[in-house]
């Protein structure tokens, strides 16, 4: 037919047949709805390598030029398409380049975010970790906390098994978790276990449903900034 992309296939002992070039070149279809997540927190909490299912092998190095070009990386976890915006350690970079805060607005204007994942090293909460969550609130507004989930990473299974005891012993950590609605997940810092990453995405989907299937968007951030400005002017 005219206008169609076709190829000739030579059969063995058979006449030539016409066949369209179709699905062979198509990427595998994902059966679950796609998700967009922002990952932030402590860079010492993760290990970048090709087998890292969530972040991959490239560690971000934020300078003024790079901040302006933050783009989501495309991953696939358990037949679900994931757009991952990796801004781990960005809050530290923005302290050196305070004028780059407007890139945050650009980031949320271009993406509808299902969840913010705060990555922390299990059992090693630092002042920088607490500042990371405070920075998120300043950059995105207080209501961003309803989209936040804590992701504790571990190196050994023994560490993972003591998380509930660690929370009871550490009131600061418990308070941090309360800010995020008690939502957390644990995974190997290499992030290379399919089962752990799949469960994390299930929890993100559950959070999305808890938020009445609403994403964090640029419009939501603008409303919060406007409301904050009005409250401050009225004081």
CATH code of the domain covering residue 52: 3.40.50.300
Higher pLDDT, 81 or 172: 81
Instruction: With respect to residue 113, please indicate whether it lies within any of the assigned structural domains.
Output: yes
> Does 5 fall in a domain?
no
26, pLDDT greater than 50 = no
The span from the CA of 73 to the CA of 83, in Å, is 6
H-run or E-run covering 166? helix 163-169
Q: Cβ distance 154 to 184 under 8 Å?
A: no
Evaluate whether residue 10 is within a structural domain.
no
pLDDT tens digit sequence for 67-98: 556 778 999 998 899 999 998 877 766 665 55
The count of structural domains within the chain is 1
Bridge partners (DSSP) listed for residue 76? 81
pLDDT of res. 94: 65
Enclosing domain of residue 160: 35-233
Residue 188 within a domain:
yes
144 in a domain, yes or no? Answer: yes
On the question of pLDDT at 48 being above 90, the answer is yes
> Has residue 128 been placed in a domain?
yes
With respect to residue 12, please indicate whether it lies within any of the assigned structural domains: no
For the full predicted model, state whether its pTM sits above 0.75: yes
Question: Which residues fall within 8 angstroms of residue 35, CB to CB, at 6 or more apart?
Answer: 80, 81, 82, 83, 114, 115, 201, 204, 205, 208
Closest C-alpha among 71, 52, 60 to residue 200: 52
């Amino acid at each position: 037919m005219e206008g169609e992309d076709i190829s000739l296939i030579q059969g063995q002992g058979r006449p030539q047949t016409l066949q369209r070039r179709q699905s062979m070149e198509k990427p595998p279809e994902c059966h679950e709805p796609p998700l967009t997540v922002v990952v932030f927190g402590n860079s010492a909490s993760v290990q970048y390598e090709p087998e890292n299912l969530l972040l991959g092998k490239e560690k971000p190095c934020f300078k003024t030029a790079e901040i302006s070009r933050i783009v989501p990386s495309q991953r696939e976890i358990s037949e679900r398409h994931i757009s991952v915006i990796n801004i781990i350690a960005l809050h530290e970079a923005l302290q050196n380049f305070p004028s780059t805060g407007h890139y945050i607005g650009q980031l949320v204007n271009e993406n509808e975010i299902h969840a913010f994942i705060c990555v922390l090293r299990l059992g090693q909460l630092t002042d920088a970790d607490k500042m990371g969550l405070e920075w998120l609130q300043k950059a995105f507004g207080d209501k961003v906390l309803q989209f936040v989930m804590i992701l504790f990473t571990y190196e050994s299974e023994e560490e993972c098994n003591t998380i509930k005891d660690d929370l009871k012993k550490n009131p600061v950590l418990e308070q941090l978790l309360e800010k995020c609605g008690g939502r957390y997940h644990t995974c190997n810092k290499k992030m290379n276990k399919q089962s752990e990453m799949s469960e994390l995405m299930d929890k993100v989907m559950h959070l999305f449903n808890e938020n009445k299937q609403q994403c964090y968007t640029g419009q939501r951030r603008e409303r919060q900034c406007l409301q904050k400005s009005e409250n401050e002017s009225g004081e």
